[in-house]
A and B are shown apart, each in its own frame.
Chain A
Amino acid sequence: MKQLGDLALVFAYLSLLTIGGGMAAFPAMKELTVDVHHWLTFPELLHFYSLGQLAPGPNMMMVAAVGAWVAGPLGALVVLVAFLLPTGLLTFAVGRAWTRLASWRWRPAIQHGLGAVAVGLVLAGAIILARGALTGPLPVALAGGVFALLMFTRINPAIPVVACGLAGLAAFMTG
């Protein structure tokens, strides 16, 4: 019971950090789920995050995997509700008040200013992710390859990410 309560608190808190997209919450998610609560190891979190990139829909549905890993299907449900409800209610309320907020003179400043901070949080997330994932020449080459492919083609990102997994598997089988 206490664990479900902790899960709800942690993910409700994390949801408030998802400014500009879910990735902005990754640094705090790593800290709280791995370092503070020891619900899973850093490699496990990395694996769930990576699998989440292959799942359809909103980009952070991997939180359901963390919930399920810690406390089963009920854990997944608690985490999802906690992660979606606070910001969902806020969006719902602001959506209805928007006609008044649209012409508020501070709105562009807030959007622009928080946008820059959100990009900074995604960069921090990428750095933390890279520390765990880029552990040798092969992972570095794979990350660089995916980045270049996405920059210069219009390929669906799921394809090169799965291809990386297969390359890793092939390297393991032959190595």
Chain B
Amino acid sequence: MSAAAPAPPSLARIFTAFLVMGATSLGGGVVAYLRAGLVVRQRWVDDRTFVELLAISQTLPGLNATNMAILVGDRLRGTAGALVALLGMCLPGASLMTGAAFVYGVGGDDAPSRAFLHAVAAGAVGLTLFVLVQLGAKTLSVAADYVFVALTAAAVAGFGVPVPVALIGVGALAIWWHRPRGGGGAAP
């Protein structure tokens, strides 16, 4: 039984599954929703594959959720699978935000809306700080990492250094700091 690979799901099922994840993953933390949907509910990937694909998604530019949709969709049904997974993932949030822009255009500028939105923005600062702490706990392991974080933030937010310059400059320094050492048994 376990020797025969199960037939890959249809494109419609892939689209629907990602549409549901795209519509229900409220309040950030989309990775947890992805795992619940892909590993637990659909059993399309196992936990090991999930973590590996997540590592690719986080290393490459692009949103984690859309990168995951592309990688899992491609594994299930090739190029078309990647496309429908991406579409399903983005459709609910993107249409809501497009609608929000119109509603904002109609009533966003009166005083009560501004009071509401400005307070939501304050809450979003708290949420962003929380994401920052989570991301930091996962990513930063040695004291030098904190120096790279401070350098990047000070350059971009403090001195107006263009982001690509900071990214390439501090990035090259950080990659060099973590460079592979003593590989191949030829340690000095």
Measured CB to CB, the residues of A under 8 A from B are 15-23, 25, 27-28, 43-44, 46-69, 73, 76, 80, 84, 87-88, 90-92, 94-96, 98, 102, 105-130, 132-135, 138-140, 142-151, 156-169, 171-173
Contacts and interface: CB of A to CB of B under 8 A. Distances in A.
B42 interface: no
B130 A151 contact: yes
B30 A58 contact: yes
B53 to A, nearest CB: 8
B153 A116 contact: no
Instruction: Name the 3 nearest CB pairs between A and B, nearest first.
Output: A168-B119, A120-B152, A146-B126
Contacts of B65: 57-59
B176 to A, nearest CB: 8
Contacts of B12: none
Nearest to B126: A146
Given A27-B156, A111-B59, A58 B105 contact: no
A69 B139 contact: no
Contact of B128 (A18, A87, A129): A129
A150 B56 contact: no
A173 B112 CA distance: 8
A79 to B, nearest CB: 9
Interface centre among B30, B65, B136, B178 (most CB of A within 10 A): B178
Given A91-B71, A123-B153, A127-B157, A64 B122 contact: no
B70 interface: yes
